[in-house]
């Protein structure tokens, strides 16, 4: 494990739920913190009696929703610049239209499954979505993330490191499959749209 992870784990067993909430908020803002690992570890530490369960859930949820909302705000403010810079590009416009059509699903699933792309999704949502809809979806997705990942940590107790490794690999696999599926879908759609000149 990296030293930043070690510091965070030591901090988690020493300072408890407040540090957990702050770490999740920073992670949601794009600072490279292994937040999923922390959630699993927090579940395990709760089981071991090192962390109070309800404050950890509450402050964790509060921190991560605050971080998501702040990154949404960054997308909203930065969105104008991005639109001026790339607004003329057909690829950008097409990506924006596709995102707008599926934004709620994108926001929801990137909370707990494709977490590696959660920040770009927040930024994009900030430039095009209503905050209220984003906020409700974020709360739903983050609640599932904290309860499922934390629950696994709680369930497996001292063996949480193995579960964390498996979930991390599974997340990478899900991202790979999503990219593969997305590019095949895009290719097939474009092929249908284009007239073939013989």
Point out which residues bind other proteins (CB under 8 A): 1, 5-7, 9-10, 13-14, 47-50, 91, 155-159, 161-163, 165-166, 169-173, 175-184, 186-187, 190-191, 194-198
Q: How far is the CB of 127 from other proteins (least distance, A)?
A: 21
Q: Looking at the chain, how many residues does it have?
A: 198
Q: In whole angstroms, how close is the CB of 87 to other proteins at the nearest point?
A: 18
Q: In this structure, are residues 17 and 55 in contact, taking their beta carbons and an 8 Å threshold?
A: yes
Our CB check for other proteins shows the closer of 132 and 196 to be: 196
- Taking the least distance from each CB to other proteins, the nearer of 50 and 70 is 50
Nearer to other proteins, 135 or 161 (CB): 161
Closest CA to 12 of 27, 182, 26, 44: 44
Query: How near is the Cβ of 4 to other proteins at its closest, in Å?
Result: 11
Tokens of 49: 């009696």
Closer Cβ to other proteins, 67 or 153, answer by number: 153
CB 136 to other proteins: min, Å: 30
Nearest to other proteins of 17, 138 (CB atom) = 17
Measured distance CA(110)–CA(130) in Å, rounded: 18
First CA to last CA distance, the chain: 57
Please state, in angstroms and rounded to a whole number, the distance separating the CA atoms of residues 75 and 73: 5
Select 132 or 191, whichever has its Cβ closest to other proteins. Answer: 191
Coil, strand, or helix at residue 178? helix
In the complex, least distance from residue 158 CB atom to other proteins, rounded to whole angstroms: 5
Query: Is residue 112 classed as helix, strand or coil in its secondary structure?
Result: helix
- Residue 37 beta carbon to other proteins: minimum distance, rounded to whole angstroms: 12
Give the closest residue to 125 by CA, choosing from 142, 101, 141, 91: 101
Neighbouring CB atoms inside 10 A of 81's CB total 10
């Amino acid at each position: 494990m990296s030293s930043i992870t070690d510091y965070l784990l030591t901090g988690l067993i020493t300072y408890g739920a407040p540090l957990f909430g702050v770490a999740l908020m920073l992670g949601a803002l794009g600072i490279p913190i292994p937040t999923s690992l922390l959630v699993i570890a927090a579940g395990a530490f709760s089981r071991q009696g090192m962390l109070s369960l309800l404050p950890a859930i509450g402050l964790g949820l509060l921190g991560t929703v605050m971080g998501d909302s702040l990154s949404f705000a960054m997308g909203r403010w930065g969105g104008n610049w991005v639109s001026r810079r790339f607004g003329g590009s057909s690829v950008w416009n097409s990506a924006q239209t596709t995102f707008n059509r599926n934004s709620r699903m994108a926001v929801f699933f990137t909370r707990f499954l494709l977490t590696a792309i959660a920040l770009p999704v927040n930024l994009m949502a900030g430039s095009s979505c209503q905050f209220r809809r984003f906020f409700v979806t974020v709360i739903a997705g983050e609640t599932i993330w904290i309860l499922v990942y934390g629950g696994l940590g709680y369930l497996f107790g001292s063996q949480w490191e193995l579960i964390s490794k498996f979930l991390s690999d599974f997340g990478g696999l899900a991202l790979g499959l999503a990219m593969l599926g997305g590019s095949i879908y895009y290719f097939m759609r474009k092929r249908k749209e284009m007239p073939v000149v013989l």
